[in-house]
Amino acid sequence: MFQIEGLTPECGLGTKSLEALAFTRKELAETFSMLNDEGQPDFISVGCPHCSLTELATLAKLLSGRRVKREFWVCCSREVKRQGDEAGYSRLIEGSGAKFALDTCMVVAPVEELGYRVVATNSAKACHYLRNAGLKVRFMPLVECVMEATSSG
């Protein structure tokens, strides 16, 4: 777990004993490079950890009026999905062809057994575990995951 000053709302709240680390742009570029394999994604999944209601709102906006061209999973809790239903976000997401996976995430799903080989995700955690399952991974921001899912490839 980590907190980023100016980004993580809880940063500094009762955490005075945490170790502070400097992380440079060079290290960020190296890490990003390390999390990206070659290959065209045939499966896109976001929500590891689970998507928040705010992320569902973003996905609904990005997917509204668009169609996914590849398998695209949105992982969230049942409660967040219920809230997304009430807000109208789920209808827009599902209307694009994207699917919800509730109370689980792609790292425990048999993605490789379903025949997928390259997974695009916005989760470094998922990159680690999916690679351990023998899959190639592409790490990208949420917006790019949507672009990847809706492009013809």
Residue type at position 86: E
CATH class label, 38-150: alpha beta
Secondary structure (3-state) at 41 = coil
In the predicted structure, residue 136 carries a pLDDT above the cut 90: yes
pLDDT at residue 1, rounded to an integer = 59
Contacts of 142 (CB under 8 A, 6+ apart): 46, 55, 58, 59, 62, 122
Buried b (16+ CB within 10 A) or exposed e, 6-15: eeeeeeeeee
Mean pLDDT on 61-74: 96
**Helix extents (H) in the chain:** 25-34, 53-63, 78-87, 89-95, 124-132, 142-150
What tens digit of pLDDT does each residue of 82-135 get? Answer: 999 999 999 999 999 999 999 988 778 888 888 899 999 999 999 999 998 899
pTM score:
0.83
Other CB atoms within 10 Å distance of the CB of residue 137: 23
Dihedral, CA of residue 107, residue 112, residue 118 and residue 123, to nearest 10? 0
